[in-house]
Amino acid sequence: MFDTFAIASLPEADESLRSAVRDIIVRCAKGMPTDQRARSWQGFSAEFSRMLGAEGFLGLTLPEQYGGRDRGPFSRFVVVEELLCAGAPVAAHWMADRQSAPLILNYGTETQRQFYIPRICRGEALFCIGMSEPGAGSDLAGVRTRAERRDGGWLLNGQKIWTTHAVHSDYMIALVRTSGTSADRQGGLSQLIVDLKAPGVTVRPITDLTGDAHFSEVFFDNVELGEDALIGNEGEGWKQVTAELAFERSGPERIYSSVVLLDAWIRHVQSSRQIAARADVSPLVGRITAEFATLRAMSIACTARLAAGESPVLEASIVKDRGTSFEQLLPIVIGDDLAAHPDEAVSDELYRTLLYVTHIAPSFSLRGGTREILRGIIARGMGLR
């Protein structure tokens, strides 16, 4: 069962990227407090993303002719691992580098590739992903935002929600209905590139329970788009989105969301407890370390399927479901350990970090497809549906 899902190792040539990435992170993120680092996915710094682009760390999997580095998924694994473990602010380039550029490469016209991809590789074209809508969260077939053909272009009306960083982005790749109704389910869906500066687009931030506003709702009121807004083929949006989600789910991202907290806690334990007193926390640290190692090996195995040119939908779902469970476990057990030692001082910075990760952790198994949807995909892959 899943016979190709087997251990793989990172090529030496890709491992060697680490020190250069670290240099940039140190230059840019030095002195950032831990609770800011813990926001990594949500940390928005266009300056940092442009610096990564200039140093050649964006577009690693993309062809050189479009400004990419032609290196493949293993190099992206190494760079992403370094960025997330350091808590670097990746939000500005995150969606474009991971999803939008590969999507445009695979399905876009030559003109679209030449227009968008080089700018993405420089960290200059920032993308958000318009999938969710009110009434259609994980059930993307329920999308109702509609684009109608009009005078050699498209007229777009509707609303997207839970769109990460729409406020700061230049473009959205939106999944919209171009024919039929939501009763047609997957039929009649297409993907359009929307310039978020276009007249008729309104973006409203949504403040979350941590006080951040990385989500937005986006309204389209008679937005006029050119013919070239369409990516790929009209009516094949579902197929394209499925492939795109494999990119979204298959990276190492789904292990590291709480790792800044983990390392801060380990440092706390090391500095607060006598070596003998650490014995009671050792099994917990060992359990976490083993799970981290196993997940990392699973994620590299999944990356190997990407490197082999496959679209590892199943493997990615398995790593994402197990990975987000690990990310969600950490704030629970770390909170328990800290409060199980009520006479041991915890810094405000560590306390803020713990509460931030605790409060945002439910989103880990929502973004990119909920846990329950992923388990349905896995069950189908096992022949159960």
Partner 1 sequence: MDMIELLEPFQRMLDAIATPSEVRAVEEGGDAGPMWQEFAESGFMDALVAEEHGGAGLTLADIEPLLQAIGAQPVPLPVAETMVARALLANAGIDRPDGPILMVTGSALPVPCAAAASHALVDDGEQLHLSPMEALSPVTTGAYHSLSMRLTDTPSGEKLARPAGGLRAIAAVLRAALIAGAAERLTQMSTQFANERVQFGKPIGRQQAVQHMLAVMGEDMIACRIAAQLGLSKGLDVPMPVAAAAKITTSAAVPRIAATAHAVHGAIGISEEYDLQLLTRRLHEWRLADGSEGYWEALLGAARLASPDPTVDWVRTEIFA
Q: Which residues are catalytic?
A: 248
- Return phi, psi of residue 333, to 5°: -75, -30
Applying CB under 8 A, which of residues 114, 282, 336, 349 lies at the interface with partner 1? 282
The amino acid that residue 165 corresponds to is: H
Give the three-state DSSP class for 194: strand
Name the residue among 156, 136, 160, 158 with its Cα closest to residue 229: 156
Residue 316 touching partner 1 (CB under 8 A):
no
Applying CB under 8 A, which of residues 38, 79, 85, 218 lies at the interface with partner 1? 85
DSSP structure class, residue 99: I
Q: Show the tokens assigned to 45.
A: 């710094």
- In terms of C-beta density within 10 A (0-12 exposed, 13-18 middle, 19 or more buried), how is residue 198 classed? middle
Query: With respect to partner 1, which residue has the nearer C-beta, 24 or 167?
Result: 24
Residue 4 touching partner 1 (CB under 8 A):
no
Name the residue among 177, 172, 149, 150 with its Cα closest to residue 161: 172
DSSP labels, 202-252: EEEEE--TTS---EEEEEEEEEEEEGGGEES-TT-HHHHHHHHHHHHHHSG
Applying CB under 8 A, which of residues 201, 266, 329, 366 lies at the interface with partner 1? 266
* Interface region with partner 1, contact rule CB under 8 A, candidates 50-58, 206-214, 290-298, 303-311: 290-298
Contact 267, 285 (CB under 8 A): no
Q: In the chain, what is the straight-line distance between the N-terminal and C-terminal CA atoms, in Å?
A: 16
Applying CB under 8 A, which of residues 51, 281, 333, 366 lies at the interface with partner 1? 281
Task: Work out how close the CB of 68 gets to partner 1 at its nearest, in angstroms, rounded to a whole number.
Answer: 25
Applying CB under 8 A, which of residues 290, 308, 339, 340 lies at the interface with partner 1? 290
Applying CB under 8 A, which of residues 170, 228, 236, 291 lies at the interface with partner 1? 291
Hunting for tokens 């389209």 — which residue is that? 220
Residue 278 touching partner 1 (CB under 8 A):
yes
Query: With respect to partner 1, which residue has the nearer C-beta, 204 or 278?
Result: 278
The amino acid that residue 351 corresponds to is: Y
Query: With respect to partner 1, which residue has the nearer C-beta, 248 or 321?
Result: 321
Give the three-state DSSP class for 101: helix
Q: Show the tokens assigned to 331.
A: 């704030």
> Residues binding partner 1: what is the number (CB under 8 A)?
49
Question: What residues does 130 pair with on adjacent strands?
Answer: 174
DSSP labels, 319-332: HHHHHHHHHHHHHH
The residues in 319-378 that bind partner 1, with binding defined as CB under 8 A, are 321-322, 372, 374-376, 378
Residue 301 touching partner 1 (CB under 8 A):
yes
Applying CB under 8 A, which of residues 318, 334, 360, 361 lies at the interface with partner 1? 318
Task: Work out how close the CB of 247 gets to partner 1 at its nearest, in angstroms, rounded to a whole number.
Answer: 20
* Interface region with partner 1, contact rule CB under 8 A, candidates 30-38, 56-64, 184-192, 263-271: 263-271
The residues in 209-248 that bind partner 1, with binding defined as CB under 8 A, are none
Residue 384 touching partner 1 (CB under 8 A):
yes
Task: Work out how close the CB of 212 gets to partner 1 at its nearest, in angstroms, rounded to a whole number.
Answer: 25
The sign of the torsion formed by the CA atoms of 302, 307, 312, 316 equals positive
Applying CB under 8 A, which of residues 121, 269, 306, 338 lies at the interface with partner 1? 269
Question: Residues 6 or more apart from 232 whose CB is under 8 A from it?
Answer: 107, 108, 190, 191, 240
Task: Work out how close the CB of 325 gets to partner 1 at its nearest, in angstroms, rounded to a whole number.
Answer: 9
* Interface region with partner 1, contact rule CB under 8 A, candidates 38-46, 124-132, 219-227, 258-266: 258-266
Hunting for tokens 């769109």 — which residue is that? 163
Task: Work out how close the CB of 322 gets to partner 1 at its nearest, in angstroms, rounded to a whole number.
Answer: 5
- Return phi, psi of residue 41, to 5°: -60, -35
- Residues engaged in binding partner 1 (CB under 8 A): 1-2, 5-7, 9, 81, 85, 259, 262-263, 266, 269-270, 275, 278-279, 281-287, 289-298, 301, 318, 321-322, 372, 374-376, 378-379, 381-385
